[in-house]
């Protein structure tokens, strides 16, 4: 990629912004497993929660529409004046939106479950960000997919039964509710795609130590579901806390520059909340030599692009 030259590292991008399901993103892989479970249980209504511009909620609403499930979204904040980005899409998918004010993490879900059950529905709660053992399992399999892509890409790995040699020095991505991080860390231990899997922390809601423990726990639950013997410890989870900026979804210079750089050099869109912040982290780590020059780096693009339209002012301002 042309950006490689600019950064001084060999950059590849895993395009999970192109996973499909209503403009793509990392929740597609998770929802395949989670909503499979909902259908298995005979549920007919799904409930989940998120921030105003939650990509997870938008993709859940789309998947529910596809599967003929009623969808309830508990969104933080208040109804915006202009329905833009994911807010617009939620409406098109026919989701029932409940505005929850300061509660953006589903604090109001138990009450909603009660009232929906009382009215005869069979509700299924999709966890915040789709992060549980099933969501992590999806990203464990995604690591396997990557290892096969690596193996196909270089003949010398063919003797290894599809298990890649340590092709990348780093895999970098946005980490927020931790399911992606859990699955990729576990999957990398099983399939050896990279020397280091680093999640750029997007939303500081707990200490790095607690978050890493929770990620490792989710990963090991996913390992059990996958019937894998691989287990991971919290000290093997790499979480970079240096790019939290002014807080969750506050767009700063770093995010703006990363978005403009990727768009203007590669014609690829990043989002202002997740992938833009994570890529800004990658740029800075390459600048500082934390990622050594000449490294083979994989940026795992987790999607989020619809949110761009809701942040046009802060993305364009200088």
Nearer to ligand PLP, 48 or 275 (CB): 275
Strands across the sheet containing 194-201: 10-15, 296-301, 168-175, 194-201, 238-240
Please tell me whether residue 28 binds ligand PLP under the rule CB under 6 A.
Answer: no
d(CA 231, CA 12): 27
Angle 209-210-211 from CA coordinates, rounded to 5°: 95
Residue number with the smallest Cβ distance to ligand PLP: 304
Query: Residue 181 Cβ, how far from ligand PLP at the closest point, in Å?
Result: 6
Tokens of 101: 């004010």
Q: Is 127 in the site for ligand PLP (CB under 6 A)?
A: no
User: Does 54 qualify as catalytic in the annotation?
Assistant: yes
| Least distance in angstroms from the C-beta of 304 to ligand PLP | 3
- Could you say which of 56, 104, 105, 144 contacts ligand PLP (CB under 6 A)? 56
Q: Cβ closer to ligand PLP: 116 or 258?
A: 258
Binding marks (x or -) toward ligand PLP, 197..236, rule CB under 6 A?
Answer: ----------------------------------------
303 binds ligand PLP (CB under 6 A): yes
Nearer to ligand PLP, 105 or 181 (CB): 181
Rounded to a whole number of angstroms, the minimum distance from the CB of residue 178 to ligand PLP is 5
Among 55, 60, 188, 220, binds ligand PLP (CB under 6 A): 55
Identify the residue among 43, 100, 151, 174 touching ligand PLP (CB under 6 A).
174
**Displacement of CA 74 from its chain's centroid (Å):** 19
Q: Does 181 bind ligand PLP (CB under 6 A)?
A: yes
Question: Residue 186: exposed, middle, or buried by beta-carbon count in 10 A (0-12, 13-18, 19+)?
Answer: buried
Element (H, E) at 186: helix 179-191
State in angstroms the smallest separation of the CB of 180 from ligand PLP.
Answer: 3
Q: Is 275 in the site for ligand PLP (CB under 6 A)?
A: yes
Find residue 96's DSSP bridge partners: 72
> Segment contacting ligand PLP (CB under 6 A): 99-107, 110-118, 271-279, 287-295?
271-279
* H helix intervals, 68-132: 85-92, 109-118
Q: Least Å distance between CB 195 and ligand PLP?
A: 21
Residue 285: which of 11, 26, 13 has the closest Cα?
Answer: 11
CB of 122 to ligand PLP, least distance (A): 26
CB count in 10 Å sphere of residue 154: 11
CA distance 95 to 89: 9
The only residue of 180, 220, 240, 295 in contact with ligand PLP, by rule CB under 6 A: 180
Of 4, 54, 119, 131, the active-site residue reads 54
Q: Which of residues 85-104 bind ligand PLP (CB under 6 A)?
A: none
Spatial separation of the C-alpha atoms in residues 38 and 226, rounded to whole Å = 18
Are 142 and 303 a contacting pair, CB within 8 Å?
A: no
Check residue 175 for interaction with ligand PLP (CB under 6 A): yes
Q: Considering beta carbons, is residue 187 or 304 the nearer one to ligand PLP? A: 304
Calpha distance 183→143 (Å, rounded): 8
Strand 70-75: give its sheet, edge to edge. 96-99, 70-75, 45-50, 123-125
Q: Which residues contact 92 (CB under 8 A, 6 or more apart)?
A: none
Q: Which positions are annotated as active-site residues?
A: 54
List residues binding ligand PLP (CB under 6 A): 25-26, 55-56, 129, 131, 174-181, 271, 274-275, 302-304
């Amino acid at each position: 990629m042309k950006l490689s030259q600019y950064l001084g590292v060999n950059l590849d991008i895993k395009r999970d912004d192109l996973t499909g399901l209503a403009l793509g993103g990392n929740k597609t892989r998770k929802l395949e497993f989670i909503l499979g479970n909902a259908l298995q249980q005979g549920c007919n209504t799904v409930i989940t929660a998120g921030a105003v511009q939650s990509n997870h909620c938008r993709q859940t609403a789309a998947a529910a529409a596809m599967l003929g499930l009623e969808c309830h979204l508990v969104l933080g904040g208040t109804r915006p004046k202009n329905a833009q980005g994911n807010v617009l899409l939620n409406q098109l998918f026919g989701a029932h939106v409940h505005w929850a004010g300061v509660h953006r993490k589903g604090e109001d879900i138990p009450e909603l479950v009660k009232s929906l059950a009382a009215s005869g529905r069979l509700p299924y709660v999709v966890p915040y960000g789709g992060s549980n053992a099933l969501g992590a399992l999806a990203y464990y399999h995604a690591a396997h997919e990557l290892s096969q892509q690596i193996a196909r890409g270089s003949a010398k790995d063919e003797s290894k039964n599809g298990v890649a040699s340590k092709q990348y020095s780093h895999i970098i991505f946005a980490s927020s509710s931790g399911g992606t991080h859990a699955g990729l860390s576990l999957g990398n231990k099983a399939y050896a795609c990279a020397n280091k899997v680093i999640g750029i922390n997007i939303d500081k809601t707990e200490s790095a130590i607690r978050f890493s423990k929770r990620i490792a726990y989710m990963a090991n639950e996913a390992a059990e579901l996958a019937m894998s013997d691989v287990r991971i410890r919290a000290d093997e989870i790499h979480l970079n806390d240096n790019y939290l900026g002014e807080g969750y979804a506050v767009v700063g210079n770093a995010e703006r520059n990363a978005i403009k750089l990727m768009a203007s050099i590669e014609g690829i869109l990043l989002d202002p909340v997740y992938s833009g912040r994570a890529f800004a982290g990658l740029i800075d780590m390459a600048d500082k030599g934390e990622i050594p020059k000449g490294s083979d780096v994989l940026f795992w693009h987790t999607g989020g692009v619809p949110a761009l339209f809701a942040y046009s002012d802060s993305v364009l301002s200088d």
